[in-house]
Amino acid sequence: MRTSLLNIISHTDLDGVAAAALAWHVNGPAGLARVSLTGYGEVDSLISEAMAAGGELLVLDLFCQREETVDAIDRSWDETRPPFLFDHHKSTFERYGGRKWAEIDTGYCGALVYWRWLSANAKGARTRDVLAALEPIVRIANDRDLWLGEIPESRLWQALVTMCGHWSVFARLAANPDAKMTQAEFDGASEFTERQEARFAEAKERIWRVGNDLSFVCDGVLEYGDVSDFCGLLLDRDDNPPLVAAVAAKRMSGDWAVSMRSRDGLAGRVLALLKDGKKVRGGGHGDASALYFPRNYTQEQMRDSIVAAIKVEKERSAAPKVTLGDLLKWKG
């Protein structure tokens, strides 16, 4: 008899780590589970590998980037089974909101989407105990991911992810799901945020500003995990905020990751214009998106591509809207 392996695939930010920890506590101790914390560039390969091996899948805070992966799931999925993918990104909802194997809710972070589904379908006292124990860290992740600003500890928890890495924070939550930080964790995260402010000051001096459209930060200034806080600083506190803030980072594989933040959904629309699923990949939602460019791109080319997409979106939104009433009036 073949033992079934549960493949838990989640994102590398605080939301993804909290979601993976929740999934591990609910599912892992009762059987075999493999946890993969990854990004948009690798999620399709991991899903395809798990499907080919016949293992169970649980995908959190991520979605497929290739149409062929979605088609493969559609062909093989048994509609009597519960969903296995839990996400919250707007771009996901707009393209795949009708899939029965996916639970998508843009009103919450990925971890809270999964927590809410588990709460509505909980069976047994043990699952309810796990949900109660993990709820505080899930709420903290939700505050951090949706920029609610209601839980001060959310920035400190994201600082731990940046300082220690997503695997270390996952291991901490797997061993101890308590959202209350130890004194060492609190002191280290607090010190980190102070040093982070110094990096922010340097980054502000090295921004490539393109009119009111874009503030582009080159590779080598900010650290992983700085992006959301720094872009929020530009978008919400700057006297003359850009429409989009973007931060480039050269990845170990040699390609580029460009994280974008905006207000009013512009980053997501830029993503939709530039992502082709082949050379340029990406994912995210309206105001927090990421593009992945091939290694042969320069930072100037990436910046100019984003600026061009913003221009297209501005022209599109400025175009006069023709209503049915206008057409009837013209016809008459």
Residue type, 1: M
What pLDDT sits at residue 283?
80
Q: Distance between CA 216 and CA 10 in Å, rounded? A: 28
- Show the tokens assigned to 106: 């843009």
Identity of residue 332: G
pLDDT in tens, 37-52: 998 778 999 999 999 9
Q: What angle do CA 50, 52, 56 make, to 5 degrees?
A: 40
> Which residues in the chain come in under a pLDDT of 70?
1-3, 29-30, 91, 224-225, 285, 319-332
pLDDT at position 130: 95
What was the pLDDT predicted at 98?
79
Structure confidence by residue, pLDDT tens digits, 304-320 = 999 999 999 998 887 66
CATH class of the domain defined by 199-318: alpha beta
